[in-house]
Amino acid sequence: MTLPALHNTGVFYRRILSQFPQDISLAFAYGSGVFKQHGTSQGQMEKNMLDFVFAVDDPVTWHTMNLLQNRKHYSILKLMGPTKISSIQMNYGASVYYNTLVPVDGRVIKYGVISTDSLIDDLMHWKSMYVAGRLHKPVKMLVQSENGKLRAALVANLKSAVTASFLMLPESCTEDDLFQQIAGLSYAGDFRMVFGEDKSKVANIVKDNIQYFRILYSNILRDCPQVVYKPQQGKLEVDKSPEGQFIQLMALPRTLQQRITKLVDPPGKNRDVEEILLQVAQDPDCGAVVQQGSVKIGKHSSRVSFSLGLWKTVSYSSKKLKKMWRGWRRKPSVSHMS
């Protein structure tokens, strides 16, 4: 099974990609500059930064070539050379190195570089969920190699997003409920959702792109034995029995399982993971425990960008604050009842 992603081979994206070293195993564009979000006009969308992620087999070689081609893209770290840049990328945060506020062909772009092995690890185990979380949502897939492990990991990541969301949803829910839960996974615990992001971001992502979420998830939902999926009505019935929840918990990515067991198991007890998850499966607050585990991962992943130019950071943050302010102004006033 190949990843059901959105493919765009338009000249615009090919022109941007042509300006980078071509040894890329996976490249995709994502975010509000690529997909329309509810409440954003076409004109605003075209002014938004374009976000890219490039997965590369050999980061040192790739950064060496990119420093020769695009030295101005890098912050002051360019003075340290490609080996040090790759070391920072591999050993800190979410194993992603970002160059941001880069002018290319009349647009401003941001691109993150991650090793193929680190990407596979994040997709399979949600070590940081930084890139895995972006791939829970629709993306424009620009390059995808024939790497079998990578292709399998991309599909496994989507299945994990569905499984984790099932555990946090009620027995009866809608497609919209599910897709908002999935889209919100990577924002759980993200401090930017408190300061610097429009609070209605997740709902806005889903509202105008629900057809693209269906492309990503409809086959997985049809094949999943833990749910009755009624696509015509846009409704789902999830297995919330202790047995069903245990199966779902056992299928979660390793890092999320570890976060859950840390929350539940008293220090020093060191029980078997399976025993702890069996206990969680029978807990009425099972969904809340899974949510807390996701928050723990999200708090880590939201602190991981290595574009260290101060002016770039300040400029980008101010744009985020303007977006958040627009979101507040769009909200209708609500009368509070005592």
Task: Tell me what pLDDT residue 266 has.
Answer: 77
pTM attached to this predicted model: 0.85
**How many angstroms separate the CA atoms of 73 and 100, rounded?**
7
Split at pLDDT 50, 70, 90, the class of 3 is very low
Cβ burial, residue 268 (10 Å; 0-12/13-18/19+) = exposed
Task: Tell me what pLDDT residue 2 has.
Answer: 43
More confident residue, 313 or 224: 224
Residue 193 scores a pLDDT above 70 = no
* Cα atoms in the 13 Å half-sphere on the side-chain side of 211: 4
Residue 234 scores a pLDDT above 70 = yes
More confident residue, 322 or 102: 102
Average predicted confidence (pLDDT) for the chain: 86
Rounded to an integer, the average pLDDT of 280-288 is 97
More confident residue, 38 or 132: 132
What distance lies between CA 153 and its chain's CA centroid? 14
Q: φ, ψ for residue 137 (rounded to 5)?
A: -105, 165
List the single range of 176-180, 204-208, 222-226 with lowest mean pLDDT. Answer: 204-208
Residue 316: Cβ within 10 Å count: 18
Residue 338 scores a pLDDT above 70 = no
What distance lies between CA 23 and its chain's CA centroid? 23
Cβ burial, residue 307 (10 Å; 0-12/13-18/19+) = buried
Task: Tell me what pLDDT residue 319 has.
Answer: 55
Residues 63-113: tens digit of each pLDDT: 999 999 999 999 998 999 999 999 999 988 789 999 999 999 889 999 999
DSSP per residue, 146-205 = --HHHHHHHHHHHHHHHHHHHHHS-SEEEHHHHHHHHHHGGGTT-GGGTTTS-TTHHHHH
Residue 6 scores a pLDDT above 50 = no
Over the Cα atoms of the chain, what is R_g? 20
Residues 19-49: tens digit of each pLDDT: 999 999 999 999 888 887 777 777 777 788 9
* Cα atoms in the 13 Å half-sphere on the side-chain side of 332: 3
Helix (H, G, I), strand (E, B) or coil at 70: coil
List the single range of 123-127, 245-249, 285-289, 298-302 with lowest mean pLDDT. Answer: 298-302
More confident residue, 52 or 6: 52
**Highest-scoring range by mean pLDDT, 90-104, 122-136, 201-215:** 122-136
Amino acid, single-letter form, for residue 32? S
